[in-house]
Amino acid sequence: MNSQLANYRESDWFGPLLITVAAIVIVSVFNPEFLSPYNLQILLLAIAVNALIALSQMMIIAIGQMNLSVGAIGGLAAISFGGMMEVWLIPWPVAALLALGIGLFAGIANGVLVAWTGISAFVITLASLSIFKGINLGITEAQPFYKIPEIVKLLGNETFLGPLPWLILPTVVVAVGLWYLLSFLPLGRFILAVGGNAHSAELSGISVAKTVVAAHAISGLLAAMAGIMLVGRLQLGQPTIGDDWLILSFAAPVIGGAVLTGGKVSVAGTLLGVTIVVIINQVLVLFNIDPFLVQVVLGGLILWAVGVNRWREVRAQKTEKRLAA
Amino acid sequence: MLRKLMISSCLAVVALSGNAYADSSTKVALVPGGPHPYFAAWEQAGADAAKDFGLGSAEYKVPQKWELSMQNQMLESLVTQGYNAFLIFPGDPVGTVAIANELADTGAPVMALAGCLKDPSDALFCMGTDTGNSAYLGTKELLTKLAGGKGKKIAHFTGFLVDPNTQLRIDAVNKAAVEAGAEVIQVIADIDAPEPAEEKINAYLAAHAKDVDGIITTAWVPAVVASNALRKIGDKRIVMVGIDHDKVVIQAIKDGFVHGTMLQNPYGQGYIGSFAADKLRSGCKVKADAPFKTNALTNKFIDSGTVFAGINEADNYVASMQKITKTLLASFEKTYLSC
Amino acid sequence: MNNTTKAADRTADAFGPDVQETSSQHPAMRLLLTNEFGLIALILVFAVLFTLLNPGFVSKFSLFAMGRTAAVNIMIGFSMMVVIITGGLNLSVGSIGVCAAMAAGWLMQSLGLPWYLSLVGGLGVGGALGALNGIVIVRSGLHSFIITLASMSIFFGVMIFLTHAGSFREIAPEVVAPGRMKFFGVISPLLLITFVVAGLLSVLFRFTATGRQMLAVGASPQAAELSGIRVQRMTVWCHALSGVLAGVAGLMLVSRTGAAIPSMAGQLGQDWLLPAFLGPVLGGTLLTGGRASVLGTLLGAFLVTMLTTGLLLLQIAAFWVQTYLGLLLLVAVLMDLLRRSYLARKKLV
């Protein structure tokens, strides 16, 4: 029992979990409204979309690369989804599938270019960011698509079972799926192995190229999914969807313990990282922070969150050393 | 004869007018700060003006990102391409002054459109919306609806703080509130982008919907998101005044979730601006004693029209803006130019 | 699939063992294989192309404007480069740049200090903020990514709070003049400043012990530690240098805009992030650290500025420009790859 607890304490997600719980307790003491069903619904909605964005980036962090085009893919999928429904009158499930297909294709294109040319993913996805965003602007001329079917709007905003929004369902499925993939499936092991050390992965018979393409494909798919869900939530096919994702997409996995050089990521940690960021954003509103100070407080809270986690790690290491000695 | 044609050709496409003038060498560039739906009407306005007044061309050139350096680079390349008149929405009221002055040095007439440059600058004038005044008038409308506003609590959702106009809007809303004895209980800024707006506005309403009587929004995206949020919680008690003409906001006005919106006149800006550019290139000068207005940024301001549109105007706001454009154009040359 | 990894090895490190082995026999070949040579070739190819499509591309004004824009982008690239060589990142370059510019503006306008002292003060603020980043990173042991992400928000937030987004316009004419001046109608003084800084950085990394120690820290902190280098101190120095260079870029923009404005690098200084990474990465600076190419960064940033200007001149439908820029960037890196594999193959024959 004791050792099991120790096991938990060593896992990546334990620190972020502590921070999340502490944040929830502190905030709800000062403002009980925080735990009202409606606010929980708002929180979960924000987490549902942001989690997909963060997981999309996490898959690429896992192979030790970066995907700068996450937001551009999401935005392109979002306006394609809206545009297909408005202009071509395609039924929404078909439009959603096609938009997911676009995301998947965009991801595969990234992956193939990275694997085939060997050029750093940073450069490739920077170029494709520009291409995808450019196509988005070329199609929309910065005008949103407005004719979103009622059912999509409902799915984007309604709840089932109390405060649980429908949008949380795909996110849960994706999170469980990715956890299963990374923990039990060969592809998941390959991804982490490639991220840990591409060279030795190659030597042990893993096809690095296929793994890289697969990771980028998943990343593109998840980004597209986030974009489509945002259309439902905003009730608009906004061309600016995705413009703000980049920083969040990195911050959440890193707060959740991911290592940027690859090979070490945690689905649970990333989800908690997203939750922490979302709570921080809510706190800034709930406590009526002077708008001119919002950025300072935001930065300070991020430092606090990672600082607590780091402090815990350092202490754990010291205890370990003491026990070993 | 000239003036007559001009007036009759306003807005409505007059088939003959294209032939009535020799094509001038004026190449007008209408350059917004970045891609944004607000400016979409400029494209048509430029094209119409080019046809109606016989300009060489009047084209809508959009910087691909909402970045000062991107806009600067775009403007520089337009000089190389031979554009010789510039209608610019300043990416920053102060930061765009330098490039505007450089453009003016090439001999091209430069005008600030939709938003103003801060004086001193070489821009001939600024035609647009007085951002502060629009926010002030919007807040007044809101407070009137709130039975005069005494003791009422309002929230203000606005754009990016790095934009100095945001500070002007915050001040104007506060001023209107103080005058009426109301209180601005919260300002949420930096949310002129869909995701943060959605998160913060909904979080705010979740926690504080019952504490607030009215909402004023002074940026495009917050207006859209707040309209949807009020519709979502089905709250018609909270009175909201939005900004601009996004379909979502207009529909919410018709459905009674939003009290009204502060309209601006982008089409008129582009149309009259292009007209003025051509006049200024063909020898006209801005009158020294032109009756310019003064706002927080400049004392060479021409109001392109700011009107409040409530439920009665929601259907025909386009017509009312066109009327303003017609009136402004009819007397523009006489009032502001000496030819 | 074997091809892929070969390609990966080849480009991941142009100076990999297999290349160096053979190229030591062919000094000319080694030159042809460098990133810098590739960038020069690309710049020439695209310059000719753009000129053919629109002769205005090489007009005096166009060249001047391009040089002036490139000068700032290159400086931003340098600011990121000196942190990348330690294997870290500095997301707060834009924030620091704006803070330095605003500080200089404040010193000039509100305190009435002479312009040179104000500039030094601005650079000092930049350096101090950079050093602060470095110290927190070293002390906490956290990745520079997360620290500079937070400090980007904090630095910018404090600046906005203090200035309330107001700007400083009373900038000394000595500072404003270089932003508009032209030498021979073509060369911007700002570009010359960039060249001087590039020269200094080259000297630093090539000929001084400090510079070489910085590179050693990036290549392998453990090995550097063992050989007696004070790794932590070097990391702090690199971040401080990054802050100073960001400050230089910020002050160049002050000179360019004739005012110190909070929005010159966008919300949170984010506008600088892409140019900051583009120059160094295209120029062959490894994101994992240990290798810097001053000339490469300079050429990389110039190439991107040139592509953007060229595209704007081609009168493509305005909303599609970004797509073409992305495609051109892709074409550029692929051409570079082709060049390398062609040379490598020829060498084998």
Give the residue extent of every domain in chain B.
2-129+265-305+319-338, 131-263
- Each residue's pLDDT tens digit, A58-95: 999 999 999 999 999 999 999 999 999 999 999 999 99
Selecting from C91, C164, C326 the residue whose C-beta is nearest the C-beta of A134 gives C326
Q: What is the ipTM of this complex?
A: 0.86
Determine, for residues B98 and C259 on separate chains, whether the beta-carbon distance falls below 8 Å.
Answer: yes
Q: Helix, strand, coil % (nearest 5) of chain B?
A: 45, 15, 35
The pLDDT-based confidence of B339 (bands split at 50, 70, 90) is confident
Q: Which of C83, C149, C155, C308 to mutate to test the interface with A (most CBs of A within 10 A)?
A: C149
pLDDT at A3: 60
User: How far is the CA of C71 from the CAs of A128, A315, C329, in angstroms?
Assistant: 25, 47, 20
pLDDT at A162: 80
Selecting from B69, B95, B161 the residue whose C-beta is nearest the C-beta of C69 gives B69
Determine, for residues C160 and B68 on separate chains, whether the beta-carbon distance falls below 8 Å.
Answer: no
Q: Which residue from C minimizes the CA distance to A124?
A: C330
* Residue C12 in contact with partner chain A when CB distance is under 8 A: yes
- Each residue's pLDDT tens digit, B58-113: 999 999 888 899 999 999 999 989 899 999 999 999 999 999 999 999 999 999 99
The pLDDT-based confidence of A4 (bands split at 50, 70, 90) is low
Mean residue pLDDT of chain B comes to: 88
Name chain C contacts of A126, Cβ cutoff 8 Å: 274, 277-278, 281, 329
Q: How many CB atoms lie within 10 A of CB C233?
A: 13
* Residue B200 in contact with partner chain A when CB distance is under 8 A: yes
Structure tokens at C213: 């120690």
Selecting from B37, B161, B196 the residue whose C-beta is nearest the C-beta of A143 gives B37
Residue C26, pLDDT above cutoff 90: no
Task: Tell whether the torsion through CA atoms of B11, B15, B18 and B21 is positive or negative.
Answer: negative
- Each residue's pLDDT tens digit, A261-277: 888 899 999 999 999 98
Identify residue A66 by its one-letter amino acid code: M
* Residue A145 in contact with partner chain B when CB distance is under 8 A: no
Sequence length of chain A is 325
> Phi then psi for B127, rounded to 5 degrees?
-115, 120
Q: Which of B75, B76, B96, B106 to mutate to test the interface with C (most CBs of C within 10 A)?
A: B76
* Residue B19 in contact with partner chain C when CB distance is under 8 A: no
Determine, for residues C143 and A113 on separate chains, whether the beta-carbon distance falls below 8 Å.
Answer: no
- Each residue's pLDDT tens digit, B13-56: 333 333 334 457 899 999 999 888 889 899 999 999 999 998 98
Q: How many CB atoms lie within 10 A of CB A84?
A: 21
Average pLDDT of the residues in B205-215: 90
Minimum distance, in Å, between the CA of residue C226 and any CA atom of chain A: 22
Contact residues of C toward B, CB < 8 A: 54, 56-57, 59, 61-62, 65, 69, 72, 160, 164-167, 169, 179-180, 256-259, 261-264, 266-267, 271, 305, 308-309, 312-313, 315, 318-319, 321-322, 325
Minimum distance, in Å, between the CA of residue A204 and any CA atom of chain B: 43
Selecting from C9, C11, C287 the residue whose C-beta is nearest the C-beta of A119 gives C11
* Residue C160 in contact with partner chain A when CB distance is under 8 A: yes
- Each residue's pLDDT tens digit, C273-285: 888 988 898 888 8
Kindly give the pairing relationship between strand A164-165 and strand B307-309: unpaired
> Of A35 and C240, which is predicted with more confidence?
C240
* Predicted TM-score (pTM) of this structure: 0.87
Q: Does domain B2-129+265-305+319-338 have CATH number 3.20.20.60?
A: no
Determine, for residues B207 and A286 on separate chains, whether the beta-carbon distance falls below 8 Å.
Answer: yes
Annotate C205-269 with DSSP letters as a single string.
HHH-HHHHHHHHHHH-HHHHHHTT--HHHHHHHHHHHHHHHHHHHHHHHHHHHTSB-GGGG-GGG
Fold of domain B131-263:
Rossmann fold (3.40.50)
Determine, for residues B69 and C72 on separate chains, whether the beta-carbon distance falls below 8 Å.
Answer: yes
Q: How many CB atoms lie within 10 A of CB C342?
A: 11
Quote the CA–CA distance of B258 and B226 in Å, as a whole number: 9
Judged by DSSP in three states, C143 sits in coil
Name chain B contacts of A46, Cβ cutoff 8 Å: 198-199, 203
Q: Which of C102, C253, C267, C305 to mutate to test the interface with B (most CBs of B within 10 A)?
A: C267
pLDDT at B282: 86
Note whether B94 and C263 are within 8 A (CB): no
Selecting from B186, B187, B199 the residue whose C-beta is nearest the C-beta of A46 gives B199
- Each residue's pLDDT tens digit, C156-171: 999 999 998 889 999 9
Residues 6+ apart with CB under 8 A from C346: none
Give the residue extent of every domain in chain C.
70-297
